[in-house]
A and B are shown apart, each in its own frame.
Chain A
């Protein structure tokens, strides 16, 4: 009997752990995608790249927290570095390390009114890819099965983050799809072309795991939807008229400086990651420590 109760409460705690904080779900999904991607879907994703991205991001975060005398939290740098691992490709371990360091360092160094400006993973990818020919984004490197998995996982993100990232993710995807389909209609292309363009692994990773970051996007709902539309428009333009296959990734970094401006027009409270309640907090923290 006792054992049963224990199991039950353990299961409940595990469930609470994923639902309580969307970051846990994201970490679970991103790392599963990497592991399944490498082992089953033959992603061309070397292990050293994953280790370098994750390792350098964690170390940078640890150092940053130490200097600022803040409590080290593994979750945020983990999400950043897992996104880096999936989206960025490099020809050298040093570039993977550089991306991780740059990504996390940007959080500490480039700030306005208590918010960092750039999405850390986005910053890392763009800077490394622009500065070095040995780093690039491979938007086409997903097969059909991984894409399906990604859609499902992405829907999970929406569920766990509730309305918060829905504005951004769904907003972005709807705006982006609207531009893509409108252009194809104007060009007289068959609809299979825009449908194919929406099936880009990089686009979905971007929509579900990058633009959805509540910390680097506008605080108010109207602001968020406006911002999603802006990123979609610029990303679409870069892709369609400037032939940048990773257009949306560049669009995010280019529009990031507008976020403080949007916040001024549409003020709202700064988003805080869910704080563990005292009751569940004990078990929650324990698990985190194990994770770390």
Chain B
């Protein structure tokens, strides 16, 4: 560490450790639904969707961590327009992981200074990442009012764009082609057909998959133009028991994105919690999220992050580079607009430190069929104020303290620790007794024993310090 930066940190007095939560939420799905062959039970539990949107132009990148047999995998997603091969792109799971890490809720750690000896520095920095994504298979045409509008392969996926005139025909067609349609999907298909939606159907091409190798299936990006700014979730609730988690990462120009037909709430943030949580931040966040959702009846749309992509403070991960943003479909990046792909390829990479003009919103949606009867509808607001899910640990100073200020400091710390326990209990629903046990077991963040020093520190003792 250079002297300059040491001094700078000294000046700041406190340093922070940041632990970010990447979400390794189990088995995942796209916002449409999986259709399993051979009766395999598949439950959609979580999915990640990146929504890039400006005007009517939309790029959706869908990722999941399907880990079953690729031959069993298929997906059906209603889309507003016909999609051609040029509009589909295979993206990289690493970029989604990066976006996930950058926007993840974070735990920051501060160390109190010795109240008697201002400014000592510690520094730690750590980052935890989580979760990845992946999945899909193949189809044929027929004459049940089902038209195959497009048929193409991209990467490991064989994709069909279907339009249908009636749901029974589509359902029969899907069944004939070895898709198991969950009961109740027919009605939902009907409403999409009547709204003139098309169906994006994909399966994994095993040969291609073998060439590419690897366990996971890569995310699919689809670009289209439509006034509909929505995510179809209804098909996904048909074959899922209980609630599902969906992470939406919206990348926009003007401000944060919110749902228009459901209430978007901020996740509780900037809370001071006991230091032992550092070792179980994942558990803490899961329980806090569940508790927050419980207050809303077990489901809800919660904003976990809203920030200008150019920076972060504190950073859970670096902001995404222009290259990564372009990969996700951000089409309005500076100096980028009028270039053809060939020009772009031949251009030398410029030293472009951070992306600009991109605002990211991370929404964590927990939904079930009952409380989310309707598909998610969004709009972009003009709100550029920053928000992050941020939780704070403050380590009390545990060294020698020999001064008058020490007692006041210790008293204030004990008060603070007490408050932290209450906060944690409220946020997570954990019993206070359990929290206190954990604090004792951890050893850090235990309250000061004030009994030995108090009699010597009353104010009158300080008036005549020389007296016996």
Residues of A within 8 A of B (CB): 42, 44, 89-91, 132-136, 138-144, 186-190, 192-193, 195-197, 200, 242-243, 245
Contacts and interface: CB of A to CB of B under 8 A. Distances in A.
B145 interface: no
A236 to B, nearest CB: 14
A91 B373 contact: no
A190 B254 CA distance: 35
B194 A133 contact: no
A196 B261 contact: yes
**B interface secondary structure, majority:** loop
30 contacts: A89-B381, A90-B382, A91-B255, A91-B385, A134-B383, A136-B382, A136-B383, A138-B258, A138-B260, A139-B261, A140-B262, A140-B263, A140-B264, A141-B263, A143-B263, A143-B296, A144-B297, A187-B195, A188-B167, A188-B194, A189-B191, A190-B187, A196-B373, A197-B261, A197-B374, A243-B228, A243-B377, A245-B260, A245-B261, A245-B379
A135 B382 contact: yes
B383 A91 contact: yes
B114 interface: no
A193 B373 contact: yes
Contacts of B374: 193, 196-197
A192 B262 CA distance: 14
Nearest to B255: A91
Contact of A190 (B227, B264, B373): B373
B416 to A, nearest CB: 25
A238 to B, nearest CB: 11
Give 9 nearest A-B pairs by CB, closest first: A134-B382, A245-B260, A192-B373, A187-B191, A188-B190, A133-B254, A91-B382, A133-B382, A243-B227
Measured as residues with beta carbon below 8 angstroms from the partner, the interface class of chain B is 20 to 34
B351 to A, nearest CB: 30
Contacts of B269: none
A140 B129 CA distance: 33
B229 interface: yes
**A interface secondary structure, majority:** loop
Contact of B377 (A91, A136, A195, A245): A245
Given A141-B264, A196-B373, A243 B229 contact: yes
Contacts, number: 79
B259 interface: yes
A257 to B, nearest CB: 25
A144 B297 CA distance: 10
Choose among B230, B263, B265, B296 the residue with the greatest number of A CB atoms under 10 Å from its CB.
B263
Contacts of B195: 187
A188 B263 contact: no
A232 B116 CA distance: 70
B265 A42 contact: yes
B64 to A, nearest CB: 26
A132 B382 CA distance: 8
A188 B189 CA distance: 9
Contacts of A141: 258, 263-264
A242 B263 contact: no
Contacts of B190: 187-188
A243 B80 CA distance: 12
A40 to B, nearest CB: 13
A139 B260 contact: yes
